[in-house]
Amino acid sequence: MASHLVPVVLCGGSGTRLWPRSRASRPKPFIPLVDEEPLFVSTLKRCADPDMFGPPVVVTGTAHLAHVEAQLEAADGTVIVEPMARNTAAAIALAACRLDEDDVMLVCPSDHHIADCAAFNTAAARAAELAGEGWLVAFGITPDAPETGFGYLKQGDALGVSAWRIERFVEKPDRARAEAFLAEGGYSWNGGIFAFRAGTFMDELAAYRPNIAQKARLAVSAGHVDGRRFYPEAKAFAEIESESVDYAVMENTEKAAMVPVAMGWSDIGNWQALREARACDDDGNVVKGRVELVDCHNVMVDSDGPRVSVIGLQDVIVVVDGDDILVTTADGAQKVGKLSGACSQ
């Protein structure tokens, strides 16, 4: 494995589909959702073994900076403060330009839940080996349901033990295609976790998106350090087009590889995903706060104060946060971000 496996933790987005608990003022990565600690803290702890990982690099915006610094306890971690949001290709490029080209970056979203940390570490070690050989490696999450909310990776030729080339990236499928993927095998969810040498990433970015690579280098070279913070130069960074790392690099490169992993992963993308990640009782119910359920099945109630009583319902989610109350079916959870309370903060 490479001598340096550097966690690069991406902290962006507003988590509007978890409104009203997740808000612009206290977004999803920084609040306890699955366990008693925030997802961001759990992400840092997964990457804290000094024998395996170097100090983390957190990429975030000014809106999240106070939350990041309050929860980033490791004194040797650094924070790159983006002048504005420019999606994941630019965010990763900033981190890559701040590292040695031989450093292997482990790119991790800050707001995912992973139940099996040992499996995560095993996959990270294998991904680091491949990255050291020049591959750009995605974690391929072993699917356990025909999910339509995730992109998929189709595995190609084997690359030794527990690794494959990526034959192609597949957009979010409809239900029938997702079921066909599971039946056929060889497909994994794209969980947005990647490993690659900083130098390899920048070479591939320069090959396929030269503007992003050039402007990121310029923003870093003209940026400045303030304690543990690094501020890229705003004008150069503002000229970068907003594009995901998948579209900019991973779907174009000839060096895309995947490491399959089953690690109890969830992106906690909505209330239904959170319900599935939490422990439930024999009736599939999940409760937090002062809650009484009678004759309910697969119901989740999460209240930060008022008592909530529910009778005779199934597949329903109730969330109470201060003066805001959300009631939705499990199927409707995907649409929470469209509510005026969520999108007009």
Give every CB contact of residue 137 below 8 A, 6+ residues apart in sequence: 127, 130, 131, 163, 194, 195, 196, 257, 258, 259
pTM of the complete model: 0.94
d(Cα 65, Cα 157) in Å, to the nearest integer?
A: 42
pLDDT confidence of residue 84: 93
Residue 127 near residue 195, CB atoms below 8 Å: yes
* C-alpha distance from residue 43 to each of 17, 20, 29, 48, 179 (Å): 20, 23, 9, 9, 30
Give which of 147, 119, 122 is closest to 276, Cα–Cα. Answer: 147
pLDDT confidence of residue 2: 45
Q: What end-to-end distance do the CA atoms of the chain give, in Å? A: 45
* C-alpha distance from residue 201 to each of 168, 171, 173, 178, 197 (Å): 18, 22, 28, 30, 6
The two three-digit tokens of residue 335, written as one number? 């649409």
d(Cα 8, Cα 320) in Å, to the nearest integer?
A: 34
pLDDT confidence of residue 3: 57
Q: How does pLDDT run along the chain (345 residues), one tens digit per residue?
A: 445 799 999 998 777 899 999 988 888 999 999 988 999 999 999 999 999 999 999 999 999 999 999 998 766 799 999 999 999 999 999 999 999 999 999 999 999 999 999 999 999 999 999 999 999 999 999 999 999 889 999 999 999 999 999 999 999 999 999 999 999 999 999 999 999 999 999 999 999 999 999 999 999 999 999 999 999 999 999 999 999 999 999 999 999 999 999 999 999 999 999 999 999 999 999 999 999 999 999 999 999 999 999 999 999 999 999 999 999 999 999 899 999 888 876
pLDDT confidence of residue 73: 75
pLDDT confidence of residue 207: 98
3-state DSSP assignment of residue 4: coil
pLDDT confidence of residue 228: 94
How many other CB atoms are there within 10 angstroms of residue 142's CB atom?
13
* C-alpha distance from residue 109 to each of 42, 58, 225, 268, 344 (Å): 11, 10, 24, 11, 24
3-state DSSP assignment of residue 55: coil
Peptide bond into 146 cis (omega under 30): no
